[in-house]
Amino acid sequence: MPFNLATLPAHITTKFHHPTELLEREDFVLPQVYEWHAKKNPNYPLFMYQDGDHLEYVTYSQANRAMDRVARFVASTVGTGHAVSPVVALYANADTITYFVAAIGIMRAGCTLFPVSTRNAAVAVTDMFKRTGTRHVVVSSDTVLRQTAKDVLDELEAAGQKVVQLDLPTFEDLFSEKLDAASPLEGAVELPETFDKDALAAIMHSSGSTGHPKTIGWTYKNIEKWGKIPVNGALNVTGAIMGSHGTPMFHGLGSFMYSAAPCVGFIVAVFKPAVPPTVPTPDAVWQGIVATGTDFSWSVPSFIEEWSRDPEKVLHMKQMRGLMYGGAALNEEVGNSLASKGVSLYGFYGCTEAMMINNFHRTNPGKDWAWWEPNPDAEIIFPHAGDGMSEVIVLSPLDNPLPKTNTKIGDREAYATSDLVIPHATKPGLWKIIGRADEQIILSNGEKTNPIPLEKMINDDPHVKCSLMFGRGKFQNGVLIEPTEDYVFDPKDVKKLESYRNKIWPTIERVNDYAPQHSRIFKEMIIVTSPCKPFEFTEKRQPRRNNILKAYHDEIEALYKEVENSSQSDFDAPVVWDTASTLEFVRTVVQSTLRRDIGDNDDIFRNGGDSLQATYIRNTILRALREVNKDAPNRLPHNLVFAAPNISALARVVFSAVSTDGPSTSHTPADLWKYVEKYSANLPARPKNLVPRPAGKDVVVITGTTGGFGCDTLEHLLRDETVGKVYAFNRKGSKALERQRAQFKARGLDESLLNSPKFVMVESVLHDYDFGLEPALLEEIRTSVTHIMHNAWAVNFNMSIASFEVDIQSTRNFVDFALSSPYKQPPSIIFVSSIGVFANYNGPAPVPEASIDDPRVPFGSGYPESKWVTEHVMQNVAAKTDVHTVVMRLGQVSGDKPGYWNEKEWFPSVVKSALFQHCLPDIDGEISWFPAYEAAKAFAEMRHSPEPFLHLVHPHRALWHTVMAPIAELFNVPLVPYDQWVAALENSVEAGSAAEVEVMRQNPALRILPFFKAAKRPSHEREALGFVIMSTDKATKVSESLARMPMLDAERARQWVAAWKKSGFL
């Protein structure tokens, strides 16, 4: 949208001098074009972003200076004058501006830029660095990425390839008006003045969907051609604001931005530079688009589909000049709807190997948005591929060869894309992609499914003649199945359809165990063929895929429409949406949909739920929310029930959405302080006329005792002669006493203690102010309690912090309750935190028992974030009131009293792998695991701690070898180096084979192979598998049991194995 001249800073100019003649010269390359602009267009904006209530601009002169600083910084280390340009990788999670100028600066230093996706695993990055001969890498400051880089560099150095790591300069340094003369950004080096246009300017890489990413070199000529694409286009984009808030700069789309912007003069709109950078969620990107007055947005189709659900957003999209998308197909129904409302859609079709294939900048395509015309600067042919389809093949120009070719057409090198297209019926020159020769299915969110191995597994079922998967451009895969002759039936017969689906369901479950999560098949997404419309087959007995999909087009579309639009309207929405009414409403919807009662914490999908029912639940909740708050539905994830798969979690997410003011925003570490402030505010005053606390035994409130650790702690409290009464707070309606008895029995505890008069089971609602208790009982506890041990907390590493607000609120309720005590000395609060708060810790070790003030340390998952927030609430309470608080950070529990260690955790899966790999890993490192029963006693003792922070990890670390050697002896298998074990695990079954499914069922270590491959190496600061070493100096002074806790030994390890054998796990 046009610049608002009234608000534009005085030094910014809107007149752009085109570098037309420059682009025709043979002695200029991309980095030099920016130098030219710094002289000819010094005050023309290259970037813009929103900063609070105003817009900021970065001009060409400012950007060019930053590029020059990067070039000097890189050249100071890499050197200049090389016969062959050295490869410098850019491996950074950085804001767009910093990344952009760093990329150009690396090229200006005479180096080959290698932008590496931050989504790649260490093994993939290592492989690419080997193949490209990378010797230098620029890395951003975030802990996780730096650790991955360290792992890569360590492995390469061991293989004889030394790679030097450079720290990515900050935005502040790059754009500082004045730097210290000694700064490496002002290095006195002689930068190259001439470049070979046929030399490698950059190395791009593929997504790696079928193996390690492929590296593909681009010359300066390639990049120049890439950038000049809009120059002769029908769209005039000079002065246009290009919304690049969600554009990954390591991707081809990112390279288009820094190649094309200086050629045509569009302005790149981005997020405000920050460390860490703003996460490009649909909401955050949309806010950026609106705030910067974006003309054209660049995004993935799933974002457009999300925005299309909001009529106000559609009105705004109509006012924009266009929405550009790439990477996947846009849902056709969504696209048609937007186009009919006047929204201009521009598809971006290209690939790393052949660059731009379509003419994305044609005039408004209108209702032909899904059809594309070839790039006039590319030579493209469309040989017939059968059934009315053609394949897209790009010929390599002789004067500027394609980055990669894979075939020959006559004597011409060419790149065959494997994309299958059909021509427009009435408009020659327009084409539409309908599939791929290799049959890959790309969902609307860009996730890819290779259907061939999955179909092969389905076809092995004796009830199936042939299967064919579908889902291109949709949110979820489905499958068409033709039954064998003995099982043919009319699918309109609902009972027979249900019976047939049940017959083949064991096979589909095997497929789902093998397939990536996004490729799972749900029961309601199975379409059975009609006897009157059998599959068509080729002479080689292969199904004619496109003919079949065309024949069943109506059935497939009807199925998706049924799933998408399904909802139930016979539920009254709450009059007031508080935590209790929201929970009751969600419970009613879920249980009615499933047609059965389930517990609030029971998994919906393990209790008969499927994706169709999940959609019923989601849409029913959305319908109810729209009646009271039109913005609330936009705050819910599209995969709502999958993200929160039980009633309690679902109610948390829904309540968070309905109780939040304003639209959701992107989540940053600094946001955690807002939660701290919110739950530390308005602490109630103490009652008047406080009296001394009478002498007597301890009275303890403890939460979460039907869980393992809380259960063990309860037994120790009941055995403790200094404890007069224990109130065990557990979830209301959970049959808590019955579950408590079952846990005592399973964990080898003394069940008779539960009959003691000192034990009181209290079914409660912790996030309600009065805990949902009768006034008399509440007053009884208030006037007697001396210690509150808060252990209950939801454990889910996929939920955001907003979903944990009910847990944080529970803690605040206990604070207010403690402050309401009639005694001068209120009860102490002991809060169970987690060592997970050190997720991104990069400081000295052992980690001290103290506060962590940097919110970046726990950032990344709602669980540790919520624990960190609550730790700081506890600190504030202790500082502002006379309530004494203790934060106890709990480490790795290694089994209960009989020795049973939850077999769903990672270490039991390592042990079970011995049955298949016939070896176990040996690691030269230590472990601080502890047995639950002994640790629970230490926790019980910690209620008297004068220290505000304690670590509950084993103070006497054992060697990994100490516990693994006796286990290996029991299995009669050798101990091997960790990397050898990981390799054996990875190679234990042929990838893609049907046998892999069964092996993964039996060998659970295969399911978490990425965890084992990503594990950090031990050091003097880290334990085995890279867990940070923690101090217990204060904890051991407080707890005698912890100080005297015996080291883990061989006998304990044998106990684990015996318990697993007894349970049937081994």
Structural domain includes residue 649: yes
Q: Which helix (H) or strand (E) holds 144?
A: helix 143-158
Number of Cβ within a 10 Å radius of residue 214? 16
pLDDT at position 110 over 80: yes
**Which residue has 């059809």 as its token pair?**
371
Q: What is the DSSP letter of 930?
A: B
Out of 883, 914, 933, a domain closes at 883
513: tokens are: 């165990």
Please name the residues in contact with 308: beta carbons below 8 A apart, sequence gap of 6 or more: 314, 334, 337, 338
Nearest CA among 489, 523, 495, 490 for reference residue 509: 523
Tell me how far apart the alpha carbons of residues 314 and 19 are, in angstroms, rounded to a whole number: 36
Nearest CA among 778, 759, 777 for reference residue 720: 759
Choose the weakest-confidence range: 101-115, 143-157, 634-648: 634-648
Secondary structure string (H, E, C) spanning 1051-1066: HHHHHHHHHHHHHCCC
Are the beta carbons of 717 and 702 closer than 8 angstroms?
A: yes
Structural domain includes residue 892: no
Considering the domain architecture, whether residues 790 and 641 belong to the same structural domain is answered as no
Geometric angle at alpha carbon 51, from 47 and 53, rounded to 5°? 125
pLDDT at position 508 over 60: yes
Considering the domain architecture, whether residues 860 and 926 belong to the same structural domain is answered as no
Rounded to an integer, the average pLDDT of 162-188 is 90
Structural domain includes residue 525: yes
Q: List alpha helices for 176-310, DSSP H.
A: 220-227, 252-264, 282-291, 301-307
> Which CATH number goes with the domain that contains 480?
3.30.300.30
Q: Provide the pLDDT for residue 735.
A: 87
Geometric angle at alpha carbon 346, from 340 and 349, rounded to 5°? 135
Q: Which helix (H) or strand (E) holds 788?
A: strand 787-790
Rounded alpha-carbon distances, angstroms, from residue 485 to 479, 501, 530, 799:
19, 16, 12, 47
Q: Provide the pLDDT for residue 211.
A: 45
Considering the domain architecture, whether residues 724 and 657 belong to the same structural domain is answered as no
Judge residue 853's burial from the number of C-beta atoms within 10 Å of its C-beta, 0-12 exposed, 13-18 middle, 19 or more buried.
Answer: exposed
pLDDT at position 262 over 70: yes
Tell me how far apart the alpha carbons of residues 368 and 430 are, in angstroms, rounded to a whole number: 9
The residues pairing with 205 across neighbouring beta strands, listed in sequence order, are 215
Structural domain includes residue 410: no
Choose the weakest-confidence range: 662-666, 800-804, 878-882: 662-666
pLDDT at position 95 over 80: yes
Total tally of structural domains belonging to the chain: 5
pLDDT at position 320 over 90: yes
> Which CATH number goes with the domain that contains 235?
3.40.50.12780
Number of Cβ within a 10 Å radius of residue 660? 16
For residue 564, give the amino acid letter: E
Please name the residues in contact with 411: beta carbons below 8 A apart, sequence gap of 6 or more: none
1033 vs 224, higher pLDDT: 1033
pLDDT at position 236 over 90: no
Considering the domain architecture, whether residues 274 and 224 belong to the same structural domain is answered as yes
How far does the chain reach from its first CA to its final CA, in angstroms? 65
Considering the domain architecture, whether residues 772 and 865 belong to the same structural domain is answered as yes
Split at pLDDT 50, 70, 90, the class of 916 is: confident
For residue 243, give the amino acid letter: G
Tell me how far apart the alpha carbons of residues 253 and 237 are, in angstroms, rounded to a whole number: 16
Concatenated DSSP letters of 414-469: EEEEEEEEEE-SSSTT-EEEEEETT--EE-TTS-EE-HHHHHHHHHTSTTEEEEEE
Q: Provide the pLDDT for residue 905.
A: 83
- CA 256 distance to own-chain centroid: 26
Are the beta carbons of 19 and 37 closer than 8 angstroms?
A: yes
272 vs 541, higher pLDDT: 272
Choose the weakest-confidence range: 339-353, 698-712, 792-806: 792-806
Considering the domain architecture, whether residues 133 and 252 belong to the same structural domain is answered as yes
Secondary structure string (H, E, C) spanning 336-367: HHHHHCCCCEEEECEECCCEECECCCCCCCHH
pLDDT digits (tens, 9 = 90+) for 724-775: 999 999 998 888 999 999 999 989 999 999 999 999 999 999 988 899 999 9
565 vs 767, higher pLDDT: 767
Split at pLDDT 50, 70, 90, the class of 993 is: very low
Split at pLDDT 50, 70, 90, the class of 426 is: confident
Considering the domain architecture, whether residues 836 and 924 belong to the same structural domain is answered as no
Rounded to an integer, the average pLDDT of 365-373 is 89
Considering the domain architecture, whether residues 692 and 727 belong to the same structural domain is answered as yes
pLDDT at position 256 over 70: yes
Rounded to an integer, the average pLDDT of 576-594 is 87
Considering the domain architecture, whether residues 477 and 607 belong to the same structural domain is answered as no
Structural domain includes residue 387: no
**Which residue has 């139930």 as its token pair?**
568
For residue 526, give the amino acid letter: I
282 vs 814, higher pLDDT: 814
Whole-number mean pLDDT of the chain?
A: 87
Considering the domain architecture, whether residues 107 and 212 belong to the same structural domain is answered as yes
Q: Provide the pLDDT for residue 761.
A: 96
Rounded to an integer, the average pLDDT of 369-379 is 91
Q: Provide the pLDDT for residue 665.
A: 42
Are the beta carbons of 585 and 658 closer than 8 angstroms?
A: no
Are the beta carbons of 988 and 500 closer than 8 angstroms?
A: no
Rounded to an integer, the average pLDDT of 369-381 is 91
661 vs 454, higher pLDDT: 454
Split at pLDDT 50, 70, 90, the class of 948 is: very high
Structural domain includes residue 385: no
Out of 234, 267, 299, a domain closes at 299
Nearest CA among 336, 356, 128, 108 for reference residue 231: 356
114: tokens are: 């290698």
Considering the domain architecture, whether residues 691 and 745 belong to the same structural domain is answered as yes
Considering the domain architecture, whether residues 837 and 704 belong to the same structural domain is answered as yes
Out of 271, 299, 327, a domain closes at 299
Q: Provide the pLDDT for residue 680.
A: 95
Structural domain includes residue 62: yes
Please name the residues in contact with 315: beta carbons below 8 A apart, sequence gap of 6 or more: none
Q: Provide the pLDDT for residue 995.
A: 40
Residue 526: domain span? 448-565
Q: Provide the pLDDT for residue 31.
A: 93
**Which three-class secondary structure state does DSSP give residue 524?**
helix
**Which three-class secondary structure state does DSSP give residue 1021?**
coil
> Which CATH number goes with the domain that contains 584?
1.10.1200.10
Rounded to an integer, the average pLDDT of 610-639 is 74
921: tokens are: 């890993």
Tell me how far apart the alpha carbons of residues 593 and 610 are, in angstroms, rounded to a whole number: 11
Structural domain includes residue 426: no
Rounded to an integer, the average pLDDT of 111-132 is 90
Instruction: Provide φ and ψ at 47, rounded to 5°.
Output: -125, 155
Are the beta carbons of 390 and 423 closer than 8 angstroms?
A: yes
594: tokens are: 């499933």
Give helix 611-626 / helix 647-659 axis angle, nearest 10°: 30
pLDDT digits (tens, 9 = 90+) for 31-46: 999 999 999 999 999 9
pLDDT at position 281 over 80: yes
**Which three-class secondary structure state does DSSP give residue 980?**
helix
Judge residue 498's burial from the number of C-beta atoms within 10 Å of its C-beta, 0-12 exposed, 13-18 middle, 19 or more buried.
Answer: exposed
Split at pLDDT 50, 70, 90, the class of 992 is: very low
> Which CATH number goes with the domain that contains 859?
3.40.50.720
**Which three-class secondary structure state does DSSP give residue 325?**
strand
Q: Is it true that the peptide bond before 230 is cis, omega within 30 degrees of 0?
A: no
Rounded to an integer, the average pLDDT of 1042-1061 is 92
